[in-house]
A = this chain, B = another copy of it.
Amino acid sequence: MDSSILKNVNLFSGLNEEELNKIYSHSNVKTYDKGEMIFFDTEPYIGFYIVAEGNVKIFKISKDGREHVLLFVHPFNTFAEAPLFDQFEKIRSEDFYYPANAMALEDKTKIILIRSDYFYNLLEKNKTICLKMLSGLSRKLKHLNSHIESISQDVPRRLAWFLLDELKKSPQKEKGIIELGISKHDLAAYLGTIDETLSRCLKKFQENKIISVKGKKIHIIGKSALRQAASV
């Protein structure tokens, strides 16, 4: 494997071969197994990450033990990049930690680490990266906003919302088929509910002939009914 892995990373699109090679030589690549932790929220911050292969979930554990998934990260996207700019001065100090936990969701999840000190240099020299970074953060903000909006509705609506969102991104969208890249447990934690409630909710949607579920494959039968379920 070589620097070509970086070619598809949104943050670095527009850079030439040489630049990519240089970045690659300064990064660390590591492969994780399913369920393996990439970082804990108790670890000092050393830099941000890029998903090359596989999927990652970013989550917090509340004091009562429940898990809350903030987002899933898919290939070619970055995570844990926001703290970079949080407080330039505080960084590198021992009391600066990752803001959440990150776990690989499948075997052979390939993750690239970009250390913050090196990345600061890059930013100084490269305005394009700076603007790309702005664009990336802004997309995350937008996503979090709609997550907040959705989470304060009832579970069926949240689920419908999620399914429609996934359908948009699905490669088989014309067929109305979604392939969940995550477990039902993780989906429940993302929707801010628990496994049992999600299960019942999926069941009800199936009874109403809105969807059909087979393992991780979900077929959207009534898209308009789903849209209606997502609204009022």
Which A residues are closer than 8 A to B by beta carbons?
Answer: 60, 62-64, 66, 68, 70, 82-88, 99-100, 123-124, 127, 130-131, 133-135, 137-142, 144-145, 147-149, 151-153, 192, 231-232
The CB with the most chain B CB atoms within 10 A, among A131, A139, A232, is that of: A131
Q: Which residues of B contact A141 (CB under 8 A)?
A: 82, 137, 140-141, 144
Q: A70-B148, A152-B192 are in contact. List 17 more A-B contacts (CB 8 A).
A: A68-B152, A70-B149, A82-B137, A82-B141, A83-B142, A84-B134, A84-B138, A85-B134, A86-B139, A88-B135, A99-B142, A100-B145, A130-B131, A130-B134, A137-B138, A140-B141, A147-B148
Copies of this chain in the oligomer: 2
Q: A124 — which chain B residues lie within 8 A by C-beta?
A: 127
Query: What's the Cα separation between A68 and B64 when bound, in Å?
Result: 25
A70 touches B145 (CB 8 A): yes
Most buried by B among A83, A145, A192: A145
In the complex, chain B residues whose CB is within 8 Å of the CB of A84: 134, 138
Whether A135 pairs with B85 at a CB distance below 8 angstroms is yes
B residues in contact with A70, CB < 8 Å: 145, 148-149
Do A60 and B149 form a contact, CB below 8 Å, given A134-B85, A138-B83?
Answer: yes
A66 to B148, CA, bound (A): 13
A144-B142 in contact (CB<8A)? no
Residue of B nearest to A83 (CB): B138
Using CB atoms, name the residue of chain B closest to A58.
Answer: B145
CB pair B131 A82 closer than 8 Å: no
Report the minimal beta-carbon distance from A219 to chain B, rounded to whole angstroms. 26
CB distance from A90 to the nearest CB of B (A): 12
Q: When the two chains form their complex, are residues B85 and A149 in contact, meaning their CB atoms are under 8 A apart?
A: no
How far does the alpha carbon of A147 sit from the alpha carbon of B99 in the complex, in Å?
Answer: 13
Q: Which 3 A-B pairs have the closest CB atoms?
A: A63-B232, A82-B138, A85-B138
Q: Which of B60, B86, B123, B142 contacts A142 (CB 8 A)?
A: B86
